[in-house]
Amino acid sequence: MLLSKMVTSSIKTDEIKFGECNKKLLEELIFYGISLGADFIELFIENTDNSNILAEEDYITNVSPSFSKGAGIRIFKDKRDGFVSTNDLSKDGLMRSVSQAIEMLDITDKNNREKFNGLNKHKNYTLSKKTWIDEVPSIHEISEKLLVSTKLLKKNSKIITRKGSYSRNLQEVIIASSDGTYASDIRLHQTVGLNVIASDAQYRSNGSRRFGSSGMPNEFRFWDHEKAANDVFESSMNMLYADYVDAGQMPVVLSNKFGGVIFHEACGHLLETTQIERGTTPFENKLNEKIAHESVTAIDEGISEGSFGSLSVDDEGMEPEKSVLIKDGILKKFISDRAGELRTGHKRTGSGRRQNYSFAAASRMRNTYIAKGEFTKEDLINSISDGLYCRSMGGGSVGATGQFNFSVEEGYLIKNGKLTTPVKGATLIGDAKEVMPKISMCGNDLELAPGFCGSISGSVNVTVGQPHIKVDSITVGGR
């Protein structure tokens, strides 16, 4: 069954129809907004089919399907914008929402400078994706694999909590705006994760791993759940009896894949034009200046096939591009959306993203990573006489201008160029503009990891990543 068929029974003749041509109705809505004095009008219309499944110990404890549809309407006048969302996809309902957005901006001047010449040819990205809803694993198939996975985690009596989770988001969108943009797309994201807690008397540890993909309906079937379960178990056992790390300033090697979360949080957000608009990025006036060590090249893109942050078209109707943000330590580009281009002058990068129709799009990261260098993991570790290796990162927090602290889920001391004892309780503390110049070595083992990023336009699917990297000096919090 196609996603668009789920709402057929409630569709009216003057209502948006998913999977069909809506050009005439969309043009009528846009003409209406322009006639009321808007400089620009954008329509984002969405239909979703989501599912979440949770396994705890040896039982499926939660199955949560959800469905929604609605529209987000954004109006621009000069550099101001107004946004309204609605569940009413009828012509009358959408026109009311256009009027409400106009009223938000208190537009009284109807002598509009802008002209609307109709929508361009429809860019339809859905043609090869209409069967995805039939191809994804069934709830029964997912449940069985989750239960097998959580059973594999029970390798000894020290494992006291075992969890497995699966999430699927299938989203169909229509995007139309007064610059002629007219596009439709279907997006599919699937993610699965395992988590354990181990305990023995006063000792306690946890371990977790997550896998995710976009646009690959069969990918979950190829997930190596045995390897994932073994990794999670071994991580929790390695950390169970670990001593607490001593606090101090020291060199650190950060693992590849999810180690890139620190760059994403502490620096990547500061390169979004929303931060320029707020005046909260220290890099606002640093374009073409050195902000990082010359070993660092950083990229944000939406084009890597199957990656969690990839997309055929962004939520403003622009195809994504590969943006080199930092080249050999030099700041080269910001991540920009339509409002960012209007208010800051930085060209759009296909990065206008939102959680769903109830949010206006904003400049958001997609697949964001530090590019690979020339060194091996062993080269980085061998270069340190006394430091810390962070194999797995946990949660953290970031301040508005790049101050951060992140917990280390699995860490090991480095002594005389060798990994030695496991340590727990480590927290990396720093400031983006101070730490970026200290990333002196980048490995040759770039890998990406899926995640979710929350910001002004809600939670969106992203990929973080990096090779192993060496930070010459950073504050490590501990005991």
Residue range 37-82, pLDDT digits in tens: 999 999 999 999 999 999 999 999 999 999 999 999 999 999 999 9
**CA distances in angstroms from 237 to 149, 151, 156, 233, 425, listed in the order given:** 17, 17, 10, 6, 15
- What residues contact 229, with CB distance under 8 A and at least 6 apart? 149, 152, 153, 194
Q: Looking at the predicted structure, is the pLDDT value of residue 6 above 60?
A: no
Residue spans per domain, the chain: 3-240, 243-477
* Residue with token string 């989203």: 171
Q: Looking at the predicted structure, is the pLDDT value of residue 336 above 50?
A: yes
Fold for the domain defined by 3-240:
PmbA/TldD fold (3.30.2290)
Quickly state the pLDDT bin for 479 (edges 50, 70, 90). confident
- The whole-number pLDDT of residue 14 equals 86
Separation CA 100–CA 102 (nearest Å): 5
Mean pLDDT of 355-359: 98
Tokens in use for 220? 């979950």
Mean pLDDT of 89-98: 97
Q: In terms of pTM, does the model score above 0.85?
A: yes
Mean pLDDT of 306-325: 97
Separation CA 474–CA 470 (nearest Å): 10
Asked whether 232 and 154 are in contact (CB, 8 A), the reply is no
- The whole-number pLDDT of residue 8 equals 38
Tokens in use for 478? 């501990």
User: Which residues partner with 392 through β-bridges?
Assistant: 410
Q: Looking at the predicted structure, is the pLDDT value of residue 199 above 60?
A: yes
Quickly state the pLDDT bin for 20 (edges 50, 70, 90). confident
